[in-house]
Amino acid sequence: MSKLPLKPSRLALVLAPVLVLVAAPLHQLQAEETEEASGDSTLITVTATRNPIPAFDYPGQVSVVEREEIEDFNPSTLQEVFQAIPGAEFDSGPRRTGDAPSIRGIGGNGVLIFQDGARQSFISGHDGRFFIDPELVQTVEVVRGPGSALYGSGALGGVIATRTVSASDLLNEGETTFVKLASGYQSVNDEFRVGATGAAQSSDGMWDVLGYLTYREAASIELGSGDTLPADDEITSSLFKVTLRPSDAVELYASYARYQADSSDPQNPQGANIAGPGNDLVFRDARNDTAQLGLNFNPASDAIDLNLVGYYSKNGVEEDTVGTPRVADREVETFGLMLDNRSRIDFGEGSFVTFTYGGEYYRDEQTGLDTDTADGTRGGVPDATTEFIGAFLQAELTLADGIPGELSIIPGIRWDSFKSSATGEVFTIDDDELSPKLGVSYKPIPELLVFGNWSKGFRAPSFNEAFADGVHFTIPDLSVAPGPFGPTFVQNLFIGNDALVPEESEGWEAGAGVNFVDLITDGDRLTFKASYYDSDVTNLIGLDVNIPAGCFVASPFVPPCGTGADFGNTSQNVNIADAQISGVEAEFSYTSDHFYLRGNFSTIDGVDAATGEFLEGVLSPSVLFVDTGLRFSDGDVRLGTRVTSASAFDEVNDPNQARDGYLVADLYLVIEPDEGPLEGFRLDLGVDNIGDADFEVVSAGVSQPGRNFKAALSWSKGF
Q: What is the DSSP string of 281-315?
A: EEEEEEEEEEEEEEEEE--S-TT--EEEEEEEEEE
Residue 342 lies in a domain: yes
How confident is the model at residue 680, as a pLDDT?
Answer: 95
**Exposed / middle / buried, residue 197 (Cβ in 10 Å: 0-12, 13-18, 19+):** buried
Three-class SS of residue 163?
Answer: strand
**Backbone CA torsion sign across 446, 452, 456, 462:** positive
3-state secondary structure 653-706: CCHHHCECCEEEEEEEEEECCCCCCCCCEEEEEEEECCCCCCCECCCCCCECEC
Q: What is the DSSP letter of 80?
A: G
Question: Which residues of the chain are modeled with pLDDT < 50?
Answer: 1-40
Nearest to 595 by CA among 635, 644, 643, 642: 635
Cα–Cα dist 491/494, whole Å: 10
Query: CB of 494 within 8 A of CB of 571?
Result: yes
How confident is the model at residue 41, as a pLDDT?
Answer: 57
Q: What is the pTM of this model?
A: 0.91
Mode of pairing for the β-strands spanning 111-115 and 158-164: parallel
Cα–Cα dist 110/460, whole Å: 9
The CA-based angle 104-108-112, given to 5 degrees, is: 75
Residue 452 lies in a domain: yes
Query: CB of 149 within 8 A of CB of 437?
Result: yes
Residue 3 lies in a domain: no
Residue 23 lies in a domain: yes
Give per-residue burial for 512-539: e unless 16+ CB within 10 Å, then b: ebbbbeeeeeeebbbbbbbbebebebbb
Residue 630 lies in a domain: yes
How many other CB atoms are found less than 10 A from the CB of residue 299? 12
Residue 592 lies in a domain: yes
Q: How many domains does the chain have?
A: 1
Query: CB of 380 within 8 A of CB of 468?
Result: yes
Cα–Cα dist 598/42, whole Å: 14
Residue 2 lies in a domain: no
Cα–Cα dist 697/49, whole Å: 32
Q: What is the DSSP letter of 55?
A: G
Query: CB of 100 within 8 A of CB of 90?
Result: yes
Domain of 602, in residue numbers:
8-718
Cα–Cα dist 217/269, whole Å: 17
Q: Which residues contact 23 (CB under 8 A, 6 or more apart)?
A: none
pLDDT in tens, 549-594: 999 988 888 999 999 999 999 999 999 889 999 999 999 999 999 9
Residue 1 lies in a domain: no
Give the number of residues written for the chain: 719
* Cα atoms in the Cβ-side hemisphere of radius 13 Å centred on 553: 5
Query: CB of 535 within 8 A of CB of 585?
Result: no
For residue 708, what is the domain's CATH number? Answer: 2.40.170.20
Cα–Cα dist 380/372, whole Å: 14
Query: CB of 706 within 8 A of CB of 223?
Result: yes
How confident is the model at residue 516, as a pLDDT?
Answer: 96
Mode of pairing for the β-strands spanning 570-591 and 489-494: parallel
How confident is the model at residue 39, as a pLDDT?
Answer: 36
Cα–Cα dist 102/122, whole Å: 15
Cα–Cα dist 112/122, whole Å: 10
Query: CB of 503 within 8 A of CB of 459?
Result: yes
**Exposed / middle / buried, residue 695 (Cβ in 10 Å: 0-12, 13-18, 19+):** buried
Cα–Cα dist 694/563, whole Å: 44
Nearest to 418 by CA among 367, 469, 463, 358: 463
